[in-house]
Structure 1
């Protein structure tokens, strides 16, 4: 690989070379024989003003370029540097496009060098990198990067990254290189020569690699699955905690900035007491308690002393990763014995090597995203010990492809299969069976409960962190969902006999056997009718919701229109037609299942047909559509709430169907709490006014067998937070929404001047967020403040949060998921604006059904559900501001009900005690400026 590589980076006046934007700085670095041999740098005069945004980003202003040469004066020198070399850039289309545009405009021929894009190379050679921007990669590869967004320093950084990438390429096994060669033609970088050169080099090396296990052309990382010796513990729990917290000062030895937290030990003792007395527990641990460590210490002690597993369940994958990669290793350094911990997720998280090998063997060309996904997975398989796809960031459409090659896409497990022993999912199950601590997520925990505890290893005690999500997760697992794309994809994957899909390929491979018979014409006819009926049904449902919207209550504030349906209130004529369509569809699907069943019988005992292994899976998938459709439309159950959601501006068959129980408490009580010795539920938001009665009732916990504890935060909230509520905002209840939004935006702008942005604004509705964003965009100085809005600015929640932290003066508008799980510690967040108290809209389908159910029981839906839910949500939102002992900030609540309404104290009494001010907006802004 001793080639010549010419790395270029450009700074420009904008993003489009034909806009016409111009180059203002060029940085070039030349690499030969693996060493940087030359560099070149110059400012260029664009003969146009440099925009303020570009000057802020790069530090280059008009005075830097006023005496600089124009591009044409340097074109020949630049062109000569590229002679005989690869053109390399971090995002080649940008730099190559600009360079050639300037060359041709100056009368020079465009360059036609082979190219290497370090973004693309990094994506598949370092698939586990946290990000692929230049700075992120430099940090990941531990390459020092000073003066970012300057051409020559960025070019040098790209050069060092390229050298690391080439080194990584040289480290890959022969089989991985061989597969990458087949994919190379669909990638942007010209890699064939480099890959072929490496393949030829490896072909001469016959030694088996100790770090790789090769099977059927796939190279994966070799792994040992050894279990540690059985640990011995000969101390009582109190002595065990003393050794960690007090006597030996172990915690202080292991943590540089350890702060003694009384609440942390109290929580450890409460968990231990629950385990010993075989009671369940609700523990609210406020921010800063260190609850993960607090519950892990008794969990590990219990598992090791009893030789019985303890399960720990979290809601977010982020917390699972934190437990496994940070907390568990730390605990190992603290305790005087060994223990094993394992992470187990659902099948959909783990790659199926059998499925992936089959896809690679087909040698089919794909679109760019899928090709890149395959390349990423090939390299990742040489590194991963888990096979958990969450370790890497696939391209967006790569996840659609991945679903086809996950373990969830396999048929029933077959221990006699050659792939069984190499299954990442089975390995994860084995590790979990051997472990003392099993970490999982709420989704798999609930699936396990729903399937009579067949998925997780046997356990009697569990800790459920982020427990305020358990009710929601359990409701989804005891309910069901069905949408058009899901059902249509199942039919498409199976396909007709003359298509390129699964069934056609199976019949083609089996055609040599005289014993195989399949009624192809009958199958194609029924398959076609099923697809037609499915499309027709969902179009009918779409129109039905539109019609009901005109005369009945619907709810629309999530980008979709939601409509709750129940048998006794539906339109007789139209509903009868829908039920007839459902009956026809399920009849067609049963016919398809019957024919697949006959095919399965005839293929059994014949020569190995790998595609035949998928027959049971496809039959189950078709049956799942039947079961869901019948439960939704052909059965009546007053304990379930059923609703539809349509995308009003989407396709006319874009309908989503849902069903959930109106009350999950009895199900959780019978299926979880009565089955296990001790379940400890913990979260920062479980109590209301220091009472756990709401959480206890909604989760189905009996008060007779329940421990409760509230662990206060060690943070000095009285000094850290100011709670401010304006008394002069228009009352939104009297049709003053526009005036209320205007007042909110004016307050946001005034506060932004004081806090330099660094503001999170939480809404309860997308509609209000959109209107506020539109008004702020017109009135705020967008050259000074970066305005980021959920659902408007592109990107996931994580991406929006990173953007928020990347710009010094940012304002982030969020709703729904932003009320929790967004941690922005330090000075990045100094002001939290809560626009409205987070009550559920009364016409939301699930709220409406649960409200009706409570009324039938003689209860008050507002005080028994709406208010407690809103208080819990408010506590979650409030918790976004203070994430460490050094944080300071303002919580500005635009909704005066928190002060004026009789129930307002439920909110203020449920958060830490902080100074409150109820005054005019003008006085509040003045006080905020003085306080900061």
Structure 2
């Protein structure tokens, strides 16, 4: 079949079952790889078009009043689709609407083979930043004249389909053959297309040059570059002059570069710290250009001393920025050659060996796994790194990925043919030879707490986004265990005859009860599963009963409860501890059965390498569960720890999460890190409170000896770019007027939205308050004009919500904790920032409560030494969302009058750049905002 018909519909809503109707059809016909025909028509839906749809599509009731009814054109539409594939961007949506309308008008439903360009794009362009039609078109350089109109969308989809077919033609025989095995689980009917391509490739003698074919898998093998040994004769001053002064070279090499006074000062300070073997705390305010400021001395120092230097970031977003923007620009600016490597933990890298093995087994494949396998097959022909962060897998695809990450592969001996092909081993080799190794805080802390065995040796390190360093260290010194994870793992392992991991091992070797006590396995397995359910249900009920009067919700709406060893007494707690003991006994007995199985198979010399890895993996997982349960319920340890439980009150009655973290990491960091390294540079836009580094210095365990501190001011003109507005007439929340306060906040948001035309980010400290505000705004807002996006309510990750916010001209985004930082929305996309409450941690937050108690025991003031500095640093992060360049302008509206009325309010205002502050009635502030804009 060589005819492809692309269809796109505009409709009155999302569901034909709710009587939504088609208002426009766009059709594009493709024959012999060329667009041969286009058709479009409006339809009268006989129902009003909602304002939101009119806003989105530009189609109004007036446009369709003289348009034909669907019934009048139905036969012509059916005729166009004869003997063709039906293509759409989300084919279930368009075909579902068409078939509902055809059936309602007495016509047969269309049963053509279908091709879904969303699915095909996910498979064939696995590294695309998004699969929305507009963003895909931009990514693939397809011109889109009139988004959200049927013919324009159909035309772009047709162009996209042709690009997809071109991509298919670049793939080797092995990859197409593997896709053909997975095809039956796809939405798209690809069998004929893939089979034809296989026939064409059958006579090709070689694979594309840059690809390696091994054991049925095609992948790109990155070449390891030969490293020159540079000769660096310059002084650091000459080197800086070459970068900053020579013919305005910075401006030429870096798009949008603005000269920043503090940047060179920061570079010199870091270089001085390296020479003096000192540690440094450097706060570089927004606009300093701190990434370049530390990269410049880091490269010089590493090359000059011939000693590698580590740079650690908290977010992968910053790592990408360093590798894709700053470092390439510096290569063009700096005459000396230097080598940079990115190194992450084993779990980030795909294991080719494990993936090749898993491709042979499709017994447990569902749609998500088939899609994941297909995406990985294409990605392996493109990736140089094998780093899974390069692509976005479907959500349950990550469970499959964990089975094939390098972390899951056990020890690979250097003589194995897979060893030389391993992405992780290549990344390690590259890091060993590099001048600069970029990593993340998580791996830096894992390395630190495991006797420095993961990263190549180093003496000097730069830690960016350093306000997260204490928190990351706490997580890595702690533990987490949750019901979903333990249940999922048990379900993957399974019983003797249910087709899961254990069952496969049994059937592979035709094991019987004589060889291994299989009946005992099933009995123990069922008992363990029963105990898991019982334990987590009991924990759920325990938290609910302890929380009757004290509801503490996390920022994603979970109920939190801190365990206090002295308080947890009585029959219920004793019963819970007995359940844990029983569960660990059952798991130990399961480990014993696995040991007998391994002994039997080793003695017979019949055990396959992969099966041994599988067996060892199950044993290690079980041992890890026992360790975590004992750490949480029984072991105290010599460092004070805080333990807490979170429950998901919206889920089933056993969705429970257990956490354990050290209450204090300063001593651990001082002994294990700062004392053993020559120079640690910690930098961030938010390290000080009222220009003092005392708080962060104490939290990290940095002693004043061998420490340099410096604050680099922002080059932005905040006085001219920002207005900070605080209303003096909001209800005081202290007197229980929460609903009144939320109502006043929502009224202010709506009034400000009119002035700024949306483009507003609203930051909450409480998920509960966000949810109530969202509900109230949804009832009162003009949904035809504004798009309302709520974190935890609107589906999608943080970056997806941010992208949606930027896609619409008039949008309001409500966010909690993760939106207070790391979200860059430059330019006109963001004009107004609303901070609902000052970001104090709830006093009964588990970790916060434990840290407060330790301070009180030491005779310190928990509010001044912990609560206030924490809140100020978070406030500074939130404030920093608004101004991202010298041309940005905007308003910060703070609903919390404590910033003006209380004695400690000055700590907040004195910790941000000097901006005009107005404290007045809401109406006067709104008038001022309107006048200012």
> 1:503 corresponds to which residue?
502
**1:243 deviation in Å?**
0.5
**1:253 deviation in Å?**
2.6
Q: Retained in 2: the 8 A contact 1:553–1:563?
A: no
Note closer, same or farther for the CA distance 1:553–1:26 as it changes in structure 2 (3 Å cut): closer
Q: Retained in 2: the 8 A contact 1:350–1:425?
A: yes
In terms of mean alpha carbon deviation, does 407-416 or 259-268 score higher?
407-416
Q: Retained in 1: the 8 A contact 2:555–2:817?
A: no
**1:545 deviation in Å?**
1.9
Which digits, 9 at most, give the CA deviation of each residue in 1:358-389, with x for residues without a partner?
22101326322222111111111111111111
CA distance in 2, matches of 1:224, 1:608: 35
Q: What is the number of equivalent residue pairs in this alignment? A: 930
Note closer, same or farther for the CA distance 1:557–1:84 as it changes in structure 2 (3 Å cut): closer
1:463 paired with 2:447, answer: no
**1:512 deviation in Å?**
7.9
**1:114 deviation in Å?**
1.6
> 1:853 corresponds to which residue?
854
Equivalent residue of 2:865, what SS?
A: helix
CA distance in 1, matches of 2:928, 2:356: 65
Equivalent residue of 1:26, what SS?
A: strand
The normalised TM-score by structure 1 is: 0.97
> 1:65 corresponds to which residue?
64
Which digits, 9 at most, give the CA deviation of each residue in 1:331-376, with x for residues without a partner?
1111111111111111221222222222210132632222211111
CA distance in 2, matches of 1:740, 1:905: 23
Q: Mark the runs of 5 or more structure 1 residues left unpaired by the alignment.
A: none
Matches within 5 A, 1:248-647: 248-364=247-363, 366-511=365-510, 517-550=515-548, 558-604=556-602, 606-609=605-608, 610-637=610-637, 639-647=640-648
1:807 paired with 2:808, answer: yes
Q: Retained in 2: the 8 A contact 1:506–1:612?
A: no
The normalised TM-score by structure 2 is: 0.97
Q: Retained in 1: the 8 A contact 2:221–2:421?
A: no
> 1:95 corresponds to which residue?
94
CA distance in 1, matches of 2:17, 2:595: 60
**1:608 deviation in Å?**
4.9
Q: Retained in 1: the 8 A contact 2:761–2:813?
A: yes
In terms of mean alpha carbon deviation, does 162-171 or 342-351 score higher?
342-351
Which digits, 9 at most, give the CA deviation of each residue in 1:235-290, with x for residues without a partner?
11111001001144321331354322110101111111111111111111111111
**1:555 deviation in Å?**
6.1
Equivalent residue of 2:118, what SS?
A: helix
CA distance in 1, matches of 2:890, 2:842: 29
Q: Retained in 1: the 8 A contact 2:55–2:785?
A: no
> 1:835 corresponds to which residue?
836
In terms of mean alpha carbon deviation, does 484-493 or 381-390 score higher?
484-493
Q: Retained in 2: the 8 A contact 1:533–1:584?
A: yes
In terms of mean alpha carbon deviation, does 290-299 or 207-216 score higher?
207-216
Note closer, same or farther for the CA distance 1:780–1:341 as it changes in structure 2 (3 Å cut): same
CA distance in 1, matches of 2:549, 2:810: 47
In terms of mean alpha carbon deviation, does 27-36 or 175-184 score higher?
27-36
Note closer, same or farther for the CA distance 1:21–1:633 as it changes in structure 2 (3 Å cut): closer
CA distance in 2, matches of 1:535, 1:62: 55
**1:674 deviation in Å?**
0.9
CA distance in 1, matches of 2:550, 2:833: 37
CA distance in 1, matches of 2:827, 2:552: 42
**1:217 deviation in Å?**
1.0
Which digits, 9 at most, give the CA deviation of each residue in 1:50-75, with x for residues without a partner?
33222222222234333333333333
Note closer, same or farther for the CA distance 1:545–1:149 as it changes in structure 2 (3 Å cut): closer
**1:77 deviation in Å?**
2.9
> 1:717 corresponds to which residue?
718
**1:679 deviation in Å?**
0.8
CA distance in 1, matches of 2:552, 2:146: 55
> 1:152 corresponds to which residue?
151
**1:120 deviation in Å?**
1.2
Q: RMSD between aligned alpha carbons?
A: 2.0
Note closer, same or farther for the CA distance 1:112–1:511 as it changes in structure 2 (3 Å cut): closer
Note closer, same or farther for the CA distance 1:730–1:823 as it changes in structure 2 (3 Å cut): same
**1:557 deviation in Å?**
6.2
CA distance in 2, matches of 1:25, 1:555: 46
CA distance in 2, matches of 1:657, 1:107: 57
Note closer, same or farther for the CA distance 1:496–1:22 as it changes in structure 2 (3 Å cut): closer
> 2:769 corresponds to which residue?
768
Q: Retained in 1: the 8 A contact 2:554–2:766?
A: no
**1:495 deviation in Å?**
2.8
CA distance in 1, matches of 2:382, 2:695: 47
In terms of mean alpha carbon deviation, does 220-229 or 303-312 score higher?
220-229
Note closer, same or farther for the CA distance 1:796–1:119 as it changes in structure 2 (3 Å cut): same
Q: Retained in 2: the 8 A contact 1:411–1:615?
A: no
CA distance in 2, matches of 1:269, 1:715: 21
Note closer, same or farther for the CA distance 1:672–1:568 as it changes in structure 2 (3 Å cut): same
> 2:195 corresponds to which residue?
196
CA distance in 2, matches of 1:41, 1:205: 42
In terms of mean alpha carbon deviation, does 252-261 or 462-471 score higher?
252-261
